[in-house]
Structure 1
Amino acid sequence: MFRFAPHRRTALMLSLLVPSALSSAIAQAQSSDEAHALDAVTVVAERATTATKTDTALTETPQAISVVTSALFTDRGAQNLQETLRYSAGVAADAWGLDTRGDASTIRGLDPVQYLDGMRKLYNFSPMARPEVYGLERVEVLRGPSSVLYGAGATGGIINAMSKRPSFRKAGEIGLQLGSFDRKQLQGDITGALGGSEQWAGRLVGVVRDSGMQTDEIDDDRIYIAPSLTWRGERSNLTLMASYQRDRTASSQQFLPVAATLKAPPGRKLDPSTFLGDKDFDKLDARAVSATVLFDHSFNDAVSWRSNLRYIDSKTEFREIFPDTYSNPTHPFIDADGRVLNRLTYGVKPHDRVLTSDNSLQFSFATGAFQHVLLAGVDYTDFREASSSFSGVTTPIDVYNPVSTGVTVPAYQALPDQRTTQTGLYVQDQIRYADRVSLVLGARRDHAVSETQGLPDRTDNATTYRVGLIGDVGANVSPYVSYTESFLPVPGQDLYGNAFEPMRGHQVEVGVKWQPVRNALLTASAYRITETNRQTNDPDNVLNTVQTGEIQSKGIELEGAYVFDGDFTVTASYSHNEAEVSKSNFAPEVGQRLNDTPQDLASVWAAKGFAVGDDKRLRVGLGGRYVGGTVSVGASNTVRTPSYTLVDALLELELPSWTFAVNVNNLLDKEYFAPCRNFGDCFSGNPRSVVGTVTYRF
């Protein structure tokens, strides 16, 4: 079933990987026993909840899943959600390069859905405040279709960010960051039992940032505060979480013309920091408030109940001026000297309200030699959006001497109100035999209603299934095979008032997981995915979105993590993906590679700690990331973007109460694009970023 034609550089990339660190579903975090950081542990993640909604060992989960803990993504210098996934197999973390509009990543060549604490957060392309990574304790990545438990699961998989929660162990820290582009950030995290109580614990996480960005004239300012409270009883646990976030920035991507970047004549290449908008016009201001309730109760040792509820209220104003490369992608300039471009305007003001709930009963019992963990539940989501927008043309600009002032903001026009509700009933049985073999069976029935003001309601019903088998055949080697499906209602309509069809997909995956010792996990997997009704840019109108007919994606993944004695950590990954368009309403792309999707990804990260005297510890880390080239096929214009390799580094000194750390991403300051498209625009990559952090722990 699985046949591949690897890129000619595959052998080179495989040689980058540490032989003992090849795998597929892990995450790992490392911090020595001597460390005094908040929640300090030494761990290669062994368990996760995203794949099964139960606390299940990764070696008993017949699907590829990665877990990236805060200790690990902090070591690597991640500053936003997508950057936490840069070293995960199969994930193109920075799919659109340096982009403040959202955390755009692809998994196995396809789009995932973003979840927060097990409940869906994002529902369409409307901009919303991005998660604050300092408020996260880990990120779990489930690769491939996953609708049986989540309903609203895309074909690519799920990115599930898990928030920090109260601990009964008293700990606290306050930190100051200074870095590139005038970055100044104050952050703090304090947790512990309240008043010495054994039943109540609290936590408060906060961030205040004043920063610029690579792109000239763009700010990256944020206020974030997240209080939480936990009560634990004899058989019950209740956690209340809230968050407030206010961001002030603008679109960091300026859609620089291919003709002046990737294909620029000598001496005519634009600096990636070039700003082609208007400082008084461009903005991306976002405000998000959320409240979450997490409750669980054990009736006895065999039956337990979990109930999760969250409400999000989000308001955003996004407006931008961008160059018109779309009218003539290969020759966009309007003057004889090749300097001046026409410009377009776009603005949107969405007000989103999202209510999500998930309730389930879990039963643990035996039937003869078989141990069962049976999960039955119902979840519900209610997404509502009221929005207004504008689009048009404005003054041209000289891209080599960009000056823009006095652009008038057009009047916003109301868009049809949107509402999408989805109710799902699901059941899953995890059957364990002889403590060596696990069979996972699941089924789900969804009822989704999409409402667009002025149009008839759309109702979709779907049944999805899942089956997986994994077993320990000896020496802690566990081969597995699985089949999964996805069903994702797509809210909204295209530019011409046509409602979107639900996305559907299915996957067959085979693999093997090996845990030679407790502090190591290695995995290899192969998969084939079919996806229908994927949203893409309209080749005839850049402001419109269409749904292609069918995507076929197949590939292999290797991922591994190992914590050696002596405070030495290594992670590595490699993936090869072949995604192509098998059916489409745009004939030139049929049978071609999926646009803007790298085929090969590889990474390796190593960190080592050294004792320096009796109470000091020095840690150094070094990592490399390879991202393969991409292709963008148009009706008369095909653009190929080269591959790139980036280096990241860490230097950290730990004292009894202080930590001094320097993170450098893109150490060699390589200039690259990710990607350039047949529309005539290029997405700039992330330049070198240096951030120093001083942390005091108490």
Structure 2
Amino acid sequence: MIRFRHTRSPSARPVAAAVALLCASCASCAWAQQTEVMPTVTVQGALAPEGLGLARQNGTASRLNLRADELPASVESLGAATMQARGDVQLKDAVTRTTGLTDISSPGNGISYAARGFSGNNAVAVLEGGQRLLVGSGTATYPSDPWGYESIEVLRGPGSVVYGSGTTGATINAVRKAPSRVTSMEAMAGVGGGRALRAGVGGSGALGEGGAFRVDAYADHADGFIDRGQSRHAKLLTAITYALTADVDLDVQLDHLEQKPQRYFGTPLVNGAISGTLRDQNYNVGDAAIAYVDDKAVARLTWGVSPALTVSNELAYMKARRNWRDAEYYVYDALANAVNRSDYIAIKHNQEQTGNRLEARWNGGANQIVAGWEAATINFKHTNNAPYGGASSVAPTGFDPGRFDSPDPLRPDFATDTTTNALYVEDAYRIGARLLLLGGVRHDRYRVERASLRGGDGFDTTLQSTAARAGLTWQLAQNTSLYGQLSTGSDPLTSLLSMNLANSRYKLTRSRQVEGGVKQALAGGKLEWTAALYRIRKDDIVTRDPSNPALSVQGGAQSSRGAELSASAALARAWRLDANAAYTDARYDSLIESGNVSRAGKRPTDVPKISANLWLGYRADDWRAGAGLRHVGKRFVDNGNTQAVPAYTTLDATVGWNVNRNLLVQLNLRNLGDKLYASASYSDSQYLLGDRRHAELTAQWRY
């Protein structure tokens, strides 16, 4: 196993090494294959007519790699060409252009989304290449940008049959670009507002007589649009595939990522509203620090036992190290005209996860079936300076940010050892030419052992859940399908790896969904559209005991119902329109909080009732352009629905010129209306503000 050296700050060194390795590898491949004719991969002048991809296989919603129009579920995918054409430089930019996904990311939770009435990393899972690092203390940090990925796939609704608990709202999967024996290279460089610089390089080639490799590297740096808004990222993704024999293939991946995101926890409200005067201010301390380091190694053996039977074994190792040192809570004091800061927080996460997946697939004519066993061990250590003392006051503008000064020492707090086991089976049976019946069941068992590192009591507990789904797809015509499904799932009340003694007596929540919809492609695929109706109910959320409000029990429930519509249309030879909209009616059915206050009928936090996206693309000869609207409705900050993050609509645009068949120069324009808006709330007194109007110029080269 390769050992990665842990540097304290991201730099361009991984990228420089990757560039050298990639160039040397491609040169050797070209020498070894000089008798071959190597095709030139060119940048197309047109926007890629990807549409909704109904005819493409989707490996996120099912382990049977069914086409999107065959699946009795709401799925969506965004290809690399579409993300490039829209100028999406962060993964969350691309994900939130899909139907019904809302960004609620912050420096505390890394990357996080809301979908179908449920929010956070314990309800919306984020995967890379089908691999999921279990959530520790509510935080997920990887993947963060789209470089090196072929597509982003989204499964809306409970996905526990495929990926276990914590997937009630949605499952997001970043699909890697695969190694290829055809030699290819691509590179990107960009410069933009906020002194942003970014660069990426990637390529594939042959490896010996039966193998291929791929390397992707990326780095960026920006000063941001607020005071002390610097951020840095760097990553190196490598993959090798090799045919060991005619029937056995070996796939290996080794990745390393380093991030230093903005040390920004939001802007305090003034008289309960966002203040334009404070738009550029950062109230964190001057020596604040946030750093994420992620490593990943995967080895997969695939044996084609027969034309119908395939057996594979996948071993994965993932490691995450995270560090925070910040002043995170801000309140504006109108009488003193000052900002009061508190919660001087220092936290460290050390997480290691080793897992194995043994799987067998059968494709025997009308019947496809997959069965597998997953097992993993996860070691998680949490270090902090609880109870997070420290306080200070600064002027609203023109202040000295000061330094991190907490009376509480940074000490190891707890460590957990978690063992997971899961058995699953999924079956797709074709009944004639028009009906496909899809069924699946999965059982998960989690054993969590927690040790206090401060002399407190430890514990061990076992949680389990069984999830199932049954769906039917009816092909009315060649390009028109109706579907319906029943599915169940589960979510943890809090991150399994950071479960405390109070939560150890609770079981996993239970969710169940009813969904139906239609998928259709018209005019030879020039128009694709889908529509879905659903209802989800989650039981066993924590509430107060009605007979004794001093006690917390599992007896609450929340639900959501909604409608989603997605469409992609080639309006003419030069124009394409992509649009989607989601209506979400989410509520607490039963929830009693302290003071014996009922929240029944209230909307859960971070959930908009309406969200929508629109993108109009144009291409002619060597030019291409696009413009798009993003709308996110009002979201409540508290369960009592007394305070809300205002709705917002932003406008983005792009203009691109194909200088030649290999080089594309593109100008990306963001928030053209210079909208002052909040992307998320961090507390009831501070919101994270979206970036102001800015532009970025990129050059993208392919060979």
TM-score (norm 1): 0.85
Q: 1:535 to 1:418 in 2, by over 3 A?
A: farther
Aligned partner of 2:315 in structure 1 is 309
State the Cα deviation string for residues 358-390 of structure 1 (Å, max 9, x = none).
221111225xxxx11011111123222112012
Deviation at 1:278? 1.3
Asked if 2 retains the 8 angstrom alpha-carbon contact of 1:639 and 1:676, the reply is no
Equivalent-residue separation in structure 1 for 2:628 and 2:279 (angstroms): 24
Match of residue 75, structure 1, among 85, 90, 95: 85
Counterpart residue number, 2:462: 459
Q: Secondary structure at the match of 1:625?
A: strand
Residue 93 of structure 2: SS of its match in structure 1? helix
The one-letter code sitting in structure 2 at the alignment partner of 1:426 is Y
Look up the match of 1:569.
576
Name the residue aligned to 1:15: none
Which letter maps to 1:116? E
Choose which of 383, 389, 394 in structure 2 pairs with 1:388. Answer: 383
The 8 Å contact of residues 36 and 657 in structure 1, kept in 2 or not, is answered as: yes
What does residue 88 of structure 1 align with? Answer: 98
The 3-state SS of whatever aligns with 1:73 is helix
Question: Which residue is equivalent to 1:27?
Answer: none
Identity of aligned residues (%): 21
Measure, in 1, the Cα distance between the counterparts of 2:151 and 2:377: 26
Distance 1:263 1:578, change over 3 A: same
Kindly indicate whether residue 503 of structure 2 is the aligned counterpart of residue 476 of structure 1.
no
Residue 440 and residue 605 in structure 1: after superposition, are their counterparts in 2 closer, same or farther (change >3 A)? Answer: same
Partner of 1:614: none
1:5 aligns with none
Does residue 360 (structure 1) correspond to residue 359 (structure 2)? The answer is yes
The answer to whether the 8 A contact 2:41-2:184 is kept is: no
CA distance in 2, matches of 1:421, 1:496: 18
1:238 counterpart SS class: strand
Give yes or no for contact 1:609–1:619 (8 Å, CA) kept in 2. yes
What residue in structure 2 maps to residue 103 of structure 1? 111
State the match for 2:646 in structure 1: 642
Deviation at 1:528, TM superposition (A): 0.4
- SS of the residue aligned with 1:84? helix
1:686 aligns with 2:691: yes
**How far apart, in 2, do the equivalents of 1:677 and 1:241 lie?**
36
Q: Measure, in 1, the Cα distance between the counterparts of 2:675 and 2:71.
A: 39
Q: 1:541-571 CA deviation, whole Å, 9 max, x = no partner?
A: xxxx999932111100001223466353321
Mapping 1:6-85, distance limit 5 Å? 35-36=42-43, 42-44=49-51, 45=53, 46-85=56-95
Alignment of 1:541-690 (within 5 A): 549-563=556-570, 566=573, 568-586=575-593, 587-611=597-621, 617-633=622-638, 638-654=642-658, 655-676=660-681, 679-690=684-695
Residue in 2 that maps onto 1:181: 194
**Pick from 429, 432, 441: which aligns with 1:431?**
429
The partner residue of 1:238 within 227, 250, 257 is 250
- CA distances 1:418-462 after superposition (whole Å, capped 9, x unpaired): 232221111111011222110011112222112211422111222
Report how many aligned residue pairs link the two structures.
631
- 2:701 is matched with which residue? 696
Distance 1:496 1:301 in 2: 51
**CA spacing shift, 1:494–1:379, aligned 2, 3 Å:** closer
> What amino acid does structure 1 have at the position aligned with 2:81?
A
SS at match of 1:48: coil
Aligned residues of 1:128 and 1:316 also touching (Cα < 8 A):
no
Deviations, residues 255-288 of structure 1 (Å, cap 9, x unaligned): x222356266xxxx443221101121x1111211
Partner of 2:447: 449
Partner of 2:221: 210
Q: What 5-or-longer segments of structure 2 have no aligned partner?
A: 1-39, 452-456, 544-551
Q: What residue is the counterpart of 2:529 in the other structure? A: 522
RMSD of Structure 2 on Structure 1 (CA): 2.7
Q: 1:534 to 1:685 in 2, by over 3 A?
A: farther
CA distances 1:615-671 after superposition (whole Å, capped 9, x unpaired): xx1111111111111233466x81133221111111111122211111122122211
SS in 1 for 2:270: helix
Q: What is the 5 A alignment of 1:279-318? A: 279-280=286-287, 282-318=288-324
- Paired residue type of 1:610: A
Contact between 1:275 and 1:402, CA under 8 Å: does it hold in 2? no
Checking the alignment, whether the CA contact within 8 Å between 1:240 and 1:293 is kept in structure 2 is yes
Which of the pair has the greater relative contact order for Cα pairs under 8 Å at 6+ separation?
Answer: 1
User: In structure 1, what is the equivalent of residue 279 of structure 2?
Assistant: 272
Q: 1:241·1:291 contact (CA, 8 Å) conserved in 2?
A: yes
Whether the aligned pair in 1 keeps the contact of 2:446 and 2:464 (CA below 8 Å) is yes
Query: Cα distance, 1:576 vs. partner?
Result: 0.3
Cross-structure match for 1:226: 237
Aligned to 2:637, what secondary structure does the other structure show? strand
1:566-604 CA deviation, whole Å, 9 max, x = no partner? Answer: 353321101100111122242353221112311001111
Deviation per residue, 1:515-556 (Å, 9 max, x gap): 2233543110000001235699xxxxxxxx999932111100
Q: Structure 1's 498 and 455: CA in aligned 2 closer, same or farther, altered over 3 A?
A: farther
CA gap 1:548/1:78 in 2 versus in 1, 3 angstroms: farther
Runs of at least 5 residues in structure 1 that lack an aligned partner in the other structure: 1-32, 326-331, 537-544, 612-616
Residue 403 of structure 1 is matched in structure 2 by: 400
Work out whether residues 394 and 407 of structure 1, in 8 Å CA contact, stay in contact via their aligned partners in 2. no
Q: Which of 362, 368, 375 is 1:373 aligned to?
A: 368
Partner of 1:30: none
Whether the 8 Å contact between 2:560 and 2:586 is mirrored in structure 1 is yes
Does the 8 A contact of 1:48 with 1:57 survive in 2? yes
The letter for the 1-side match of 2:405 is T
Confirm or deny: 8 A CA contact 1:262 1:682 kept in the other structure.
no
Residue 245 of structure 1 deviates from its aligned partner by 1.2
Alpha-carbon deviations, 1:313-345, whole Å to 9, x = none? 1111112113343xxxxxx52x73332424321
- Give 3-state SS (helix, strand or coil) of 1:49's partner: coil
Query: What are the Cα deviations for residues 444-501 of structure 1, in whole angstroms up to 9, with x where unaligned?
Result: 2222112211422111222221100011112522111101111234414567754364
* Distance verdict in 2 for CA 1:299–1:634, change over 3 Å: closer
SS in 2 for 1:420: strand
One-letter code of the match for 1:138? Answer: S
State the alpha-carbon separation in 1 of the partners of residues 336 and 109 from structure 2.
Answer: 33
CA distance in 2, matches of 1:406, 1:58: 53
Are 1:552 and 1:579, in contact at CA under 8 Å, matched by a contact in 2?
yes
Determine if the alignment matches structure 1 residue 486 to structure 2 residue 474: no
Counterpart of 1:149 in 2: which secondary structure? helix
- 2:661 and 2:553 mapped to 1: Cα distance? 57
Counterpart amino acid of residue 415 in structure 1: D
Post-superposition offset of 1:174: 2.1
C-alpha distance in 2 between matches for 1:257 and 1:69 = 38
